[in-house]
Structure 1
Amino acid sequence: MRATIESITGRYMRLDYKGREHRIYFEEAGQGIPLVCLHTAGSDGRQFRGILNDPRITRDFRVIAFDLPWHGKSSPPAGWQDGDYQLTSADYTDIILTVCRALELDRPVAMGCSIGGRIALHLAMEHAEEFRAIVGLQSSAHVHPYYDTTWLHHPDVHGGEVCAAIAAGLVGPNAPDAHRWETVWHYMQGGPGIFKGDLYFYKVDGDIRHRLSEIDTSRCPLYLLTGEYDYSCSPADTLETAACIPGATVSIMPGLGHFPMSEDPEGFIAHLLPVLSEIAHR
């Protein structure tokens, strides 16, 4: 039986971040405009496998998906056992900029989902000059608490399974089974307490409702794409966010949930291609 070898290349980089050495894993494919993909809370860059493998995208874009420290194949820094992981807005922004600069990317496009969609708003607000465009998937300025995060890292429950259970409910009903279960599997593999630590940013530290008017889309175009079945970042949440940002472009994607690029890559890419085409021809 012949194997099909994908064109994705995976590598590690060692970089100094906040005075500590980090070993960061990233995958890339394609050439042209850099497109940096930011995964969801508790998961990793595998969520962008459909984007990395699509020749319609990689013909014009160098797609790069990296695992945040503590996630996927990226290791936590030495001494991690002496503290708890908790993601803040400042740290999240800094690691994205550090990776982009380490790879010497020239004004990349940043595309993030969920917590990545939230930090995309921070990047548009605070670092517009660093990016060619920002694409926020499942983006909102805040999230209404709807579950107790203490159960995500608790000795009485299986951490991977409880994290996956929450993720499973956010997948759209039309997602192909293979993609649905692969998305859930990624959550089952997350490190202890990592999903909970990410949600500190999503639920507490990253709330920027009062600052949305600072985003200037004339400096950096902003595109917001949200699945209609998401109840963590609902279409109403994204529309409310966009209403506070003059010039933001919004698209509500029928049939998709909270993980559009992972749960239904083909369905999502149909919405993404027009956005990337507009960015490429600006």
Structure 2
Amino acid sequence: MPVLTAPDGTPLAYHLVGKGEPLLCLPGGPMRASAYFGDLGGMAAHRQLIQLDLRGTGESGLPTDPATYRCDRQVDDVEALRAHLGLEYVDVLAHSAAGDLALLYAARFPARIRSLTLVAGRARALGIDFTEAHRREAAALRSAEPWFPHAYRSYEAVWAGTATDADWDAIAPFFYGRWDAAAKEHAASEVAQTNEEAAERYASAGAFDPAAARAALASLDAPVLLLAGERDSGPLPRVAAEIATLLPGATLTVQPGAGHFPWLDDPEGFTRTIADFLP
């Protein structure tokens, strides 16, 4: 397992999956180990996936200063990985909460971005985020499914701030396009793969300056793909479309029937979309 050293001395691990041109993959969660990517639905057959374990997750070391879990402070880790790999520029794929990290990296190092792919990408860095109303809107799409009544009651507990661990487990089906064996196995690994302390600090005060990020990214000279799941709430497809308006040259693809992890819902469709977009 290859390791590099971040500018502050934190050891950062990354995993190489597949062969071909590199695709730098930033995991969400926030602060979930990159193992949940797997081979990204077979994307490793098209590109070499360089899956970074963010500091304090997976095989990466714990930083001396926990304040460095904050999203904007991890931009230097991404740049350190690019330099370590000896790449002049990188194709970056970011999932979920890592959308913020990728956007901040592109804002600070625009010349290092050859392409940017945001898969169910969050965009608090640009002042856009999902809301409870968005969650309810997407949840309503699943009302005919057998697990819905119990899961929705648990969602209500989450929104009320009274959720137990069992409630958090019960809402997992809302994040997958199909609640099948593969989805259940994937969901079961989340807690063990996530650094909860780091997750709480990831978007802490000062992490984002939306006006500055919007200004910096308004002149980004790189193709951008936003891939949203039709059944996802974070972001809803129409919210992903709003994010796309802030990024020049951005295109939006909505994957039919997909949730928050679209490579599990339709691996072939997912990989075809990404492979066709990448340079």
TM-score range, shorter chain: 0.7 to 0.9
CA 1:95 to 1:170, structure 2 compared with 1: closer, same or farther past 3 Å?
A: farther
Task: Tell me, yes or no, if the aligned pair for 1:24 and 1:74 is still in contact at 8 Å.
Answer: yes
CA 1:196 to 1:162, structure 2 compared with 1: closer, same or farther past 3 Å?
A: farther
Superposed CA RMSD in Å reads 3.3
CA 1:72 to 1:166, structure 2 compared with 1: closer, same or farther past 3 Å?
A: farther
CA 1:207 to 1:28, structure 2 compared with 1: closer, same or farther past 3 Å?
A: same
Alpha-carbon distance, 1:269 to partner: 4.6
* Count of residue correspondences: 248
Alpha-carbon distance, 1:60 to partner: 4.3
Q: Please give the per-residue CA displacement for 1:119-144, whole angstroms capped at 9, x wherever unaligned.
A: 22223333221121000111233324
Structure 1 counterpart of 2:62, from 76, 82, 87: 76
Task: Tell me, yes or no, if the aligned pair for 1:226 and 1:235 is still in contact at 8 Å.
Answer: yes
Residues 26-41 of structure 1 mapped to structure 2, 5 A cutoff: 26-40=14-28, 41=30
Counterpart of 1:174?
178
Task: Tell me, yes or no, if the aligned pair for 1:24 and 1:69 is still in contact at 8 Å.
Answer: yes
Provide structure 2 residue ranges, at least 5 long, that are not aligned to the other structure. Answer: 136-157
1:44 and 2:7 aligned: no
Counterpart of 1:196?
200
CA distance in 1, matches of 2:50, 2:104: 20
SS of residue paired to 1:252: strand
Counterpart of 1:251?
253
Provide the TM-score with structure 1 as the length reference: 0.74
CA distance in 2, matches of 1:35, 1:43: 19
Alpha-carbon distance, 1:188 to partner: 3.8
Alpha-carbon distance, 1:221 to partner: 0.7
Task: Tell me, yes or no, if the aligned pair for 1:30 and 1:59 is still in contact at 8 Å.
Answer: yes
1:91 and 2:73 aligned: yes
* Deviates most, 111-120 or 164-173: 164-173
CA 1:207 to 1:114, structure 2 compared with 1: closer, same or farther past 3 Å?
A: farther
CA 1:164 to 1:278, structure 2 compared with 1: closer, same or farther past 3 Å?
A: same
Provide the TM-score with structure 2 as the length reference: 0.74
CA distance in 2, matches of 1:163, 1:131: 40
- Give the share of equivalent positions with the same residue, in percent: 18
Alpha-carbon distance, 1:200 to partner: 3.0
Alpha-carbon distance, 1:112 to partner: 0.5
SS of residue paired to 2:189: helix
Provide structure 1 residue ranges, at least 5 long, that are not aligned to the other structure. Answer: 1-10
CA 1:227 to 1:200, structure 2 compared with 1: closer, same or farther past 3 Å?
A: farther
CA 1:59 to 1:257, structure 2 compared with 1: closer, same or farther past 3 Å?
A: closer
Task: Tell me, yes or no, if the aligned pair for 2:2 and 2:13 is still in contact at 8 Å.
Answer: yes
More helix by share: 2
Q: Please give the per-residue CA displacement for 1:187-222, whole angstroms capped at 9, x wherever unaligned.
A: 344234232223438xx7236267435425762111
